[in-house]
């Protein structure tokens, strides 16, 4: 959707108050992301349960402490990959497959990795930040924002990050004797990046 003529944009000769504010939003949100490296929701919502189950399973199975730690780390990395893909699908997924509407993170003002990458775009980042900071967003504004994100390299870059976390998960499983925990985590790591719902 083409932005309304009444939308506030920086002029050629100067900056509006709103554009200055949007740049502050860009810096603030990017800083928040970089400080955390990954959304705090990742471990608590995704990796936490799977890591606890797998690590305690390894413990109850008599695995040495070093192996339990590698199982735990594999669960954390797999969980982080899962969250990034989840954030990508919130922007670029199929709503009929997801079973929910897209753009929920944007509406709620959650700084996901794809949004942070998109906000770095020199052409679209500022407008995206203007929309992101609004407490009340119209359906048209959300749709505009999602289209802008998809026009940038944010989705591709986010998938690469997820692939990197998957590789870290699999790396931690190398050298661990075959077991149900290793098989489960290997399958989990492979599945989370490939999933589309």
Tell me the angle at which helices 180-194 and 65-92 cross, rounded to the nearest 10 degrees: 20
pLDDT for 13 equals 37
Angle at Cα 40 formed by Cα 162 and Cα 38, nearest 5°? 35
* Alpha carbons 76 and 63: distance in angstroms, whole number: 18
pLDDT for 187 equals 85
Q: Out of 3.40.50.20, 3.40.50.1220, 2.60.120.580, 1.10.600.10, which CATH number does the structure's domain 17-194 have?
A: 1.10.600.10
Report how far apart, in Å, the C-alpha atoms of 6 and of each of 2, 11, 22, 101 are.
11, 13, 17, 28
Does residue 141 have a pLDDT over 90?
yes
Q: Which helix (H) or strand (E) holds 64?
A: none
Please write the tens of the pLDDT for every residue from 119-138. Answer: 989 999 999 999 998 889 99
pLDDT for 22 equals 53
Please write the tens of the pLDDT for every residue from 13-69. Answer: 334 444 555 556 656 655 555 544 444 444 444 444 555 455 555 544 567 888 888
Does residue 79 have a pLDDT over 60?
yes
Does residue 142 have a pLDDT over 90?
yes
Domain boundaries along the sequence of the chain: 17-194
């Amino acid at each position: 959707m083409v932005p309304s003529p009444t939308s506030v944009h920086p002029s050629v000769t100067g900056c509006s108050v709103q554009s200055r504010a949007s740049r502050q939003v860009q810096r603030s949100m990017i800083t928040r992301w970089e400080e955390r490296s990954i959304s705090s929701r990742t471990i608590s919502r995704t990796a936490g349960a799977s890591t606890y189950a797998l690590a305690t399973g390894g413990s109850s199975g008599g695995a040495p402490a070093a192996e339990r730690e590698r199982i735990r780390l594999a669960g954390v990395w797999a969980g982080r990959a899962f969250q990034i893909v989840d954030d990508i699908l919130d922007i670029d997924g199929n709503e009929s497959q997801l079973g929910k509407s897209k753009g929920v993170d944007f509406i709620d003002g959650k700084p996901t990795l794809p949004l942070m990458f998109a906000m770095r775009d020199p052409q679209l980042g500022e407008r995206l930040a203007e929309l992101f900071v609004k407490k009340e967003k119209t359906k048209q504004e959300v749709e505009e924002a999602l289209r802008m994100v998809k026009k940038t390299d944010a989705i591709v870059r986010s998938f690469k990050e997820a692939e990197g976390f998957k590789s870290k998960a699999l790396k931690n499983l190398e050298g661990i004797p075959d077991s149900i925990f290793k098989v489960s985590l290997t399958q989990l790591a492979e599945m989370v990046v490939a999933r589309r719902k």
